[in-house]
């Protein structure tokens, strides 16, 4: 009887989705009737988010608006996506805080962002968009969940009116001997009652806007909850000014944007690159972090947006990297935050009925108009209202359903997910994600070692003539199969007659060939008779 031991390939390589054939491209203005209202809705969603993300990043508030403008006016036309919207992202806030602390100034961070843009352009030219498919999804979800937790912790002081800068150091254990939680306790000693009242009202409205009863109403899709919360906060603060001045939110706890009346004045108010930062090696390390995280977040976002697109159009990932690289370069040159494709604004764009990239472009023009003509109005917004918006954003990044879903997938998914969160919280983002990646690849290797072989007994008319064990290798044998193959060989009984058949294998990794050669040399000592078929012999290192 012939025994067939098969070792299926578990390489984890992605299967590329077929790209839809390119058809005739419609005119950018063919859907103006749908795109113009959608652009207005996205503008209303983006405006408070641009301001809030600037606040959370420790950057000038103007920088978030500039990034939103570039995402709409520049990236929309360079991207291959029809409905995605780019702008400053909550996922980069923690990196920006850390970058400002590391480099010492926001202009130096602009230099790093410009370099990151060039790196993204090079990634696009190198067709590196597929790399994102190799990052374990559990690690990426863990990174985003950790960002959500940190975002909540960092916004609580602003929510309570303690707007001093307590959080320059993004590592958990800080140089001053304190940690994130003790710094939070210190910050909360400076609570402002008016800010708390405005923040609670804003948060209540945001939560109410997400309730099914409200979401079922058609008008709720046209008026974003973030805009309602911010407008209500401004109105409430004006009411407090009249009825209870002691509770009014003070000017130091309000948005502070430069009031500009012309493009020349706007240029004067902008931040510009710190050219000296090009000479510092640490700048390039920060740039690399921005480039990698921004690219990953973009590629994850466009995958989600393509699934939401009613027409199921495909976004070319390499072109998206080129578009985002150009966008980050332009944003940095104009004093803006780094940007990515973002799911919240993109999903709002789709829900509002957008058909083409014109909607994202219109939203960028409206952001520019608001900066030029609504500066005095924007400066009435309490920071606690923006903090409420970001608390909700942070909660959505780390909502309990995410943890339950990962737990149901088993320990191989939940382990890297939860350890990435812990590592990010107690170290920093880059170290935490690195730890998560190592753990994620460990689980992949472990699964391959466990699931590498199975024994199947087949009827064989020549059983009396051939009673060998037949080990059949799969079509593709990578280093990930090495552990399972070695385990199978080591478990062969003494005195076995073995045929190791690689005739059906197109590729056999060199590490596996070395392992097979080592077994071939050791087999006689165990009384094992081994025949190799379709497997070339290699010299072992050191022999």
Task: For residue 172, give the nearest of 150, 157, 155 by alpha carbon.
Answer: 150
Could you count the other beta carbons within 10 Å of the beta carbon of residue 493? 9
Helices and strands in the chain: count of H runs, count of E runs: 23, 9
Query: In sequence order, what DSSP letters do the residues of 309-326 get, joined into one string?
Result: -TT-PPPPHHHHHHHHHH
**How far apart are alpha carbons 159 and 55 in whole angstroms?**
12
Report the first-to-last Cα separation within the chain, whole angstroms: 37
> What pLDDT is stored for residue 496 in this prediction?
87
Structure-token pair, residue 202: 């804003």
> What pLDDT is stored for residue 60 in this prediction?
92
The single residue listed with the structure tokens 């990297």 is 321
Averaged over successive runs of 10 residues, the pLDDT of the chain (543 residues) comes to: 43 40 56 85 85 89 95 96 92 89 95 98 92 75 84 83 55 57 71 90 92 82 80 93 90 82 79 95 96 89 81 89 98 96 84 87 94 86 87 87 92 90 82 84 70 40 61 78 80 87 84 87 90 83 52
**How far apart are alpha carbons 496 and 211 in whole angstroms?**
67
**How far apart are alpha carbons 384 and 479 in whole angstroms?**
53
Q: Are 360 and 38 in contact (CB under 8 A)?
A: no
The 10 Å CB-count burial string (b at 16+, else e) for 283-316 is bbebbebbbbbbbbbbbbbbbebbeebeeeebbb
Cβ-based neighbours of 476, under 8 Å, separated by 6 or more = 9, 11, 505, 506, 507
> Which residue range forms the structural domain that includes residue 167?
34-419
Q: Is residue 75 part of a domain?
A: yes
CA angle at 278 for the pair 276 and 282, rounded to the nearest 5°: 105
> What pLDDT is stored for residue 28 in this prediction?
65
Q: How far is CA 110 from CA 48, 115, 277, 329, in A?
A: 22, 9, 9, 9
SS3 88: strand
Q: Is residue 76 part of a domain?
A: yes
Q: Is residue 19 part of a domain?
A: no
> What pLDDT is stored for residue 16 in this prediction?
40
Q: How far is CA 430 from CA 324, 329, 362, 425, 496, in A?
A: 21, 22, 35, 11, 50
Q: Is residue 541 part of a domain?
A: no
Q: Are 37 and 353 in contact (CB under 8 A)?
A: yes
The secondary structure of the chain in percent helix, strand, coil, rounded to multiples of 5, reads 65, 5, 30
**How far apart are alpha carbons 504 and 476 in whole angstroms?**
9
> What pLDDT is stored for residue 9 in this prediction?
40
Q: Is residue 484 part of a domain?
A: no
* Residue 304, H or E segment: helix 281-308
**How far apart are alpha carbons 79 and 209 in whole angstroms?**
31
Domain count, the chain: 1
Structure-token pair, residue 450: 């466990």
Q: Is residue 455 part of a domain?
A: no
Strand partners, 299: none
Q: Is residue 21 part of a domain?
A: no
State phi, psi for 86 to the nearest 5 degrees.
-110, 150
* Count of all residues that appear for the chain in the document: 543
Q: Is residue 165 part of a domain?
A: yes
């Amino acid at each position: 009887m012939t025994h067939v031991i098969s070792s299926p390939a578990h390489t984890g390589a992605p299967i590329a989705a077929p790209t839809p054939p390119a058809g005739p491209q419609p005119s950018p203005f063919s859907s103006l009737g749908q795109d113009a209202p959608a652009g207005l809705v996205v503008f209303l969603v983006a405006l408070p988010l641009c301001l809030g993300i600037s606040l959370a990043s420790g950057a000038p508030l103007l920088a978030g608006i500039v990034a939103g403008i570039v995402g709409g006016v520049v990236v929309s036309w360079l991207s291959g996506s029809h409905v995605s919207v780019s702008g400053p992202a909550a996922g980069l806030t923690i990196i920006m805080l850390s970058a400002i602390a590391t480099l010492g100034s926001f202009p130096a961070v602009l230099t790093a962002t410009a370099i990151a843009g060039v790196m993204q352009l090079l990634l696009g030219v190198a067709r590196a968009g597929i790399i994102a498919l190799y990052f374990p999804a559990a690690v990426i979800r863990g990174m985003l969940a950790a960002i959500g937790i940190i975002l909540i912790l960092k916004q609580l002081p602003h929510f309570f009116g303690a707007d001093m800068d307590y959080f320059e150091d993004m590592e958990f254990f800080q140089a001053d001997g304190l940690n994130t939680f003790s710094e939070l306790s210190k910050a909360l000693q400076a609570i402002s009652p008016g800010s708390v009242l405005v923040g609670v009202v804003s948060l209540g409205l945001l939560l109410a806007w997400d309730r099914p009863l409200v979401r079922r109403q058609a008008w709720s899709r046209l008026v974003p909850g973030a805009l309602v919360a911010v407008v209500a906060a401004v109105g409430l603060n004006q009411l407090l000014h009249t009825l209870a001045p002691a509770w009014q939110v003070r000017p130091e706890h309000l948005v502070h944007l430069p009031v500009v009346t012309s493009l020349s004045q706007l240029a004067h108010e902008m931040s510009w690159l710190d050219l000296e930062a090009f000479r510092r090696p640490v700048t390039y390390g920060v740039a690399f972090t921005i480039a990698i995280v921004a690219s990953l977040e973009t590629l994850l976002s466009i995958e989600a947006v393509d699934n939401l697109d009613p027409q199921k159009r495909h976004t070319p990932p390499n072109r998206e990297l080129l578009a985002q690289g150009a966008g980050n370069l332009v944003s940095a040159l104009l004093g803006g935050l780094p940007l990515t494709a973002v799911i919240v604004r993109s999903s709002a764009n789709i829900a509002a009925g957008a058909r083409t990239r014109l909607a994202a472009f219109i939203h960028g023009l409206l952001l520019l108009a608001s900066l030029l003509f609504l500066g005095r109005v924007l400066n009435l917004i309490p920071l606690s209202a923006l903090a409420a918006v970001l608390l909700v954003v942070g909660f959505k990044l780390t909502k309990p359903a995410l943890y339950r879903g990962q737990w149901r997938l088993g320990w191989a998914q939940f382990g890297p997910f939860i350890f990435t969160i812990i590592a990010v919280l107690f170290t920093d983002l880059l170290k935490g994600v690195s730890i998560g990646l190592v753990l994620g690849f460990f689980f992949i290797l472990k699964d391959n070692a466990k699931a590498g072989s199975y024994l199947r007994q087949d009827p064989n008319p020549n059983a009396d003539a051939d009673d060998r064990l037949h080990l059949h290798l799969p079509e593709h044998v990578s280093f990930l199969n090495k552990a399972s193959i070695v385990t199978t060989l080591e478990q062969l009984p003494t005195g076995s007659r073995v045929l190791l058949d690689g005739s059906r294998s197109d590729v056999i990794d060199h590490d596996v060939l070395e392992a097979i050669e080592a077994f071939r040399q050791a087999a006689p000592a165990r009384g094992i008779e081994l025949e190799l078929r379709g497997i070339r012999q290699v010299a072992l290192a050191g022999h």
